[in-house]
Amino acid sequence: MKANEEFNGNLKQKLEELFDASLKLTVPDVPGVEPKIKIAVGRKGDYQCDNVMSLWPRIKGKSTHIEDGLALGQAVVEKLPSSEMVESCSVNKPGFINVAISTEWIAKSLENMLINGIEIWAPTLSVKRVVVDFSSPNIAKVMHVGHLRSTIIGDTIARML
């Protein structure tokens, strides 16, 4: 990854890439494990990985050095690739992995976005044609509030797009 590439793109996607690598190293015998990253609830971290909860029953009892969900969570954290983005990781019972995002990384990302423009940071979306149908009152007839409401809403939507 280039130096500036780490500061571009979707934060959740980057965390998923890190945890994907870690999960493949930690539980190579379990195929098709997709990282489950979500915003953390509470003050334990910024993001949370919930894979341990679903992985533990699948590997329990197999010949492995991992004795419980908490140990599995710690093994995933130990194999997590290093990144400037991750300040710290902690594991809570029964195996929730909490990730704290580095404030220094956030500052560098914002600085990079301000210097190089938002185009490199924001996802590029395809241009789509949209048709907005709203009233065009007959000026030969008496105008009333019903015409006005529809016209204002339609005009506002058309201007926003």
Q: Which helix (H) or strand (E) holds 2?
A: none
Q: Is 147 a catalytic residue?
A: yes
- Cα separation, 24 vs 62, in Å, equals 17
Question: Is the separation of the CB atoms in 49 and 90 below 8 Å?
Answer: no
Q: Is 38 a catalytic residue?
A: no
3-state SS of 39-71 is ECCCCCCCEEECHHHHHHHHHCCCCCCCCCHHH
- Cα separation, 36 vs 89, in Å, equals 15
Q: Is 65 a catalytic residue?
A: no
Which are the catalytic amino acids? 141, 144, 147
